[in-house]
């Protein structure tokens, strides 16, 4: 794989977002950050294996969580079974719960990317207050 594959994917994402007039910024980690309603969706172009790229999309559901209970983990696992697109993940290192999804970067098209952004944002927004009640965390970054 060319060392430029992730850079090319980054250019493609930038083009799709601009073409659809979606405002974004590049955060300190180099991720695309998009405000969608009351949440923020991050897009992270990555290399996957030796010869492919992916786009990891993720949005905070709860941050600064103070505890993780059995009830919370059960709730998240049950909801992972029910959601059609994406998954909840626990991030112990950053004391956060994310809703995330991954798309193949080499065959990424604009409609797929925009649908994924909307789905991630809507789902994170739908669950943020409910999950924060379990964690003692907040829904804001």
**What is the per-residue burial (b if ≥16 Cβ within 10 Å, else e) of 65-104?**
beebeeebeebbeebeeeeeebbbebeeeebbbbbbbbbe
Q: What is the CATH number of domain 1-135?
A: 3.30.1460.10
- Domain locations along the chain: 1-135
Per-residue pLDDT reduced to its tens digit, 36-60: 877 899 999 999 998 899 999 999 9
Residues of the chain with pLDDT under 50: none
Closest C-alpha among 62, 138, 134 to residue 98: 62
Three-state DSSP state, 52: strand
Measured CA to CA, the distance from residue 30 to residue 45 in angstroms comes to 9
* pTM for the structure as a whole: 0.90
Helices 70-82 + 110-135 axis angle, to 10: 160
pLDDT number for residue 108: 97
């Amino acid at each position: 794989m060319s060392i430029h594959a992730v850079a090319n994917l980054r250019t493609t994402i930038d083009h799709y977002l601009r073409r659809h007039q979606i405002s974004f910024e590049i955060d300190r980690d180099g991720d695309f950050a998009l405000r969608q309603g009351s949440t923020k969706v991050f897009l992270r172009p990555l290399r996957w294996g030796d010869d492919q790229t992916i786009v990891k999309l993720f949005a905070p559901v709860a941050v600064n969580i103070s505890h993780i209970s059995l009830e919370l983990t059960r709730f998240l696992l049950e909801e992972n079974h029910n959601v059609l697109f994406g998954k909840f993940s626990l991030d112990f290192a950053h004391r956060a719960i994310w809703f995330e999804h991954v798309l193949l970067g080499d065959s990424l098209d604009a409609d797929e990317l925009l649908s994924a952004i909307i789905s991630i944002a809507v789902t994170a927004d739908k669950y943020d207050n409910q999950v924060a009640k379990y964690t003692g965390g907040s829904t804001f970054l």
